[in-house]
Amino acid sequence: MKTAIIDYGSGNLHSAAKAFERALRDSDIKGRIIVTDKAEIVSECDYVVLPGVGAFADCRAGLENVDGMIETLHDVVINKARPFLGICVGTQLMATRGLEKSITPGFDWISGDVTEIKPDDSSLKVPQIGWNTINVINDHQLLNGIKTGPDGQHAYFVHSYHLVANDRSNVIAECDYGGAVTAIVGRDNMIGTQFHPEKSQKMGLALIANFLNWKP
Amino acid sequence: MSLKARIIPCLDVKDGRVVKGVSFVDLIDAGDPVEAAIAYDAAGADELCFLDITASSDNRDIIFDVVSQTAEHCFMPLTVGGGVRHLKDIRKLLNAGADKVAINTTAVKNPDFVASAADKFGNQCIVISIDAKRVSLPDEPGKWEIFTHGGRQPTGIDAVEFARLVVEKGAGEIMLTSMDQDGQKTGYDLALTRSIADAVRVPVIASGGVGTLEHLVEGIRDGHANAVLAASIFHFGTYTIGEAKRYMNDNGIAMRLD
């Protein structure tokens, strides 16, 4: 089993790769984690992970600069229906459009826009930085064994924008930050977390292991 | 409110070694930052901070190795600061495994650097580290000035004004150290912390002066900070991270206890 983590110059791949390797070991799955900027390697992998740190438009531009990567992503995720996990901006790119600084098209896999979070309590700071619990909206296998709800396990968020899905059935989980903020979106073989599972200690490793065991 | 306040242990690293060491657990090597990071990860720290205080430029690349090795073992957020002068320094730290980068002197010298860094890497990973000293008399309204070079060099810049400026430029968080309180163990400068926390829309990390668990509570409750940074009370085992989190939680500050 091969898992591709796509490298398009957007930060923090080292930590993501290490967390995935650890989850693989912990769950006794035979496989390899491959960090790659080659579209042809991604197309040979069974699982695909798109991380992303930074601004939406910069990340989109970074992906466009990798030869054939956006086309390959579309092929493996939409045509070949392989399990896909987006992380942070990688998740946001699944949307129709990003509205950070400028209007930038996303992949339009999850209908909706990426908009700035606007807590209804003015004492709440933006970006949301820190550990928050998540509330399940539509149950999902990736949350197996993870305690959710106000007394549940925490995930690490660091973001100013989130994906607001048009179809409520695409929202897997939300967190509360002066109103509902999107935490996980997904449909069919694709899922994406706004928080950083690779930085969310036990909860994150459990979610990553669930992803690597996922057979949508 | 379900976002929790954060406790951030901070390790000063010089030439790849923890300055003064960490003795709160049975570390084989008290000066090894990676070992200390692993111990703090296991203890439930909410984030970890490395400040590289390496003076010689020959040894400045060592921090990348330290960060990279830490990221292999610790699946927790990591902020790294010290000696960040160019966009490529930020890129290298993020690639090594840092999530956020703290910038101090370079931001003071050139606030536009904050804008370039935030545009390139997103404001969420740009932490501006502010070292401030009180310049008003005790009976006057609080006024604080920015100091650089580890608090040795005055700049004449007002700390609150500077905080507003860097946030406008794109800083995603402020790490605020009171040079008056640092090392005193008598608590944070709460007036300073509150003045800056209330002036900006981004989270503020209070730093400098922690001696007791009550000081951590005060930093959040009275200083309006979103996170509290401490070094010696944790490094020398005065309190564990778990004790600190439980104490804060029992005193009305919601903490992550899982």
Whether B149 shows a pLDDT value over 90: the answer reads no
Strand partners, B228: B7, B206
What is the model's pLDDT at position B95?
87
* Longest CA pairwise span in chain A (Å): 49
pTM of this prediction? Answer: 0.96
Positions of B marked active-site = 12, 131
- Cα–Cα distance for residue pair B258/B254, rounded to 1 Å: 12
What is the model's pLDDT at position B1?
59
Average pLDDT, chain A: 95
pLDDT tens for A145-155 read: 999 999 999 99
User: Is the distance from CB of B226 to CB of A130 less than 8 angstroms?
Assistant: yes
Residues whose CB falls within 8 Å of the CB of residue B75, separated by 6 or more in sequence, listed in order: A15, A18, A19, A22, A198, A199, A200, A201, A204, A205, B41
What is the model's pLDDT at position B245?
98
CA closest to B201 among chain A residues: A125
Asked if B249 reaches chain A (Cβ–Cβ under 8 Å), the answer is no
Determine whether the interchain pair B46/A130 forms a contact, defined as Cβ–Cβ distance below 8 Å: yes
Main-chain phi, psi angles of B32, to 5 degrees: -90, 110
What whole-number percentage of chain B has pLDDT above 70? 100
Q: Which two tokens stand for residue A95?
A: 């949307």
Q: Binning pLDDT at 50, 70 and 90, where does residue A52 land?
A: confident
Determine whether the interchain pair A156/B76 forms a contact, defined as Cβ–Cβ distance below 8 Å: yes
Q: Who among A13, A127, A201 is closest to B76 (CB)?
A: A201
Dihedral of alpha carbons B245, B251, B253, B258, sign: positive
User: Is the distance from CB of A85 to CB of A192 less than 8 angstroms?
Assistant: yes
What is the model's pLDDT at position A15?
85
Q: Which two tokens stand for residue B23?
A: 């003795």
pLDDT tens for A88-112 read: 999 999 999 999 888 999 999 999 9
To the nearest whole Å, the CA of A80 is away from the closest chain B CA by 31
Q: At B69, which helix (H) or strand (E)? A: helix B62-73
Average pLDDT, chain B: 94
User: Is the distance from CB of B144 to CB of B134 less than 8 angstroms?
Assistant: yes
User: Is the distance from CB of A115 to CB of A162 less than 8 angstroms?
Assistant: yes
| Contacting residues of A for B227, CB less than 8 Å apart | 129-130
User: Is the distance from CB of A83 to CB of A216 less than 8 angstroms?
Assistant: yes
Q: Which class for B94: exposed (0-12), middle (13-18), buried (19 or more C-beta within 10 A)?
A: buried
Q: Binning pLDDT at 50, 70 and 90, where does residue B30 land?
A: confident
Rounded average pLDDT over B230-244: 94
Three-state SS at A185 = strand
pLDDT tens for B158-172 read: 999 999 999 999 999
Rounded average pLDDT over A167-196: 98
Q: Binning pLDDT at 50, 70 and 90, where does residue B153 land?
A: confident
Tally: H helices and E strands in chain A: 6, 14
Short-list A3, A20, A23, A2, CA closest to A12: A20
Count of A–B CB contacts within 8 Å? 125
Rounded average pLDDT over A61-69: 95
CA closest to A89 among chain B residues: B122
What is the model's pLDDT at position B118?
92
Rounded average pLDDT over A70-81: 98
- Cα–Cα distance for residue pair A68/B84, rounded to 1 Å: 34
Q: Is A198 a catalytic residue?
A: yes
At residue B94's C-alpha, the angle toward residues B93 and B98, to 5°, is 80
Q: Binning pLDDT at 50, 70 and 90, where does residue B81 land?
A: very high
What is the model's pLDDT at position B231?
92
CA closest to A120 among chain B residues: B1
| Contacting residues of A for B172, CB less than 8 Å apart | 127, 129, 158, 160
What is the model's pLDDT at position B255?
98
Encoded amino acid at A207, one letter:
L
What is the model's pLDDT at position B28?
77
Whether B186 shows a pLDDT value over 90: the answer reads yes
Whether B206 shows a pLDDT value over 90: the answer reads yes
**The complex's ipTM?**
0.95
Residues whose CB falls within 8 Å of the CB of residue B114, separated by 6 or more in sequence, listed in order: B103, B107, B126, B128, B166, B169, B170, B171
What whole-number percentage of chain A has pLDDT above 70? 100
What is the model's pLDDT at position A11?
66
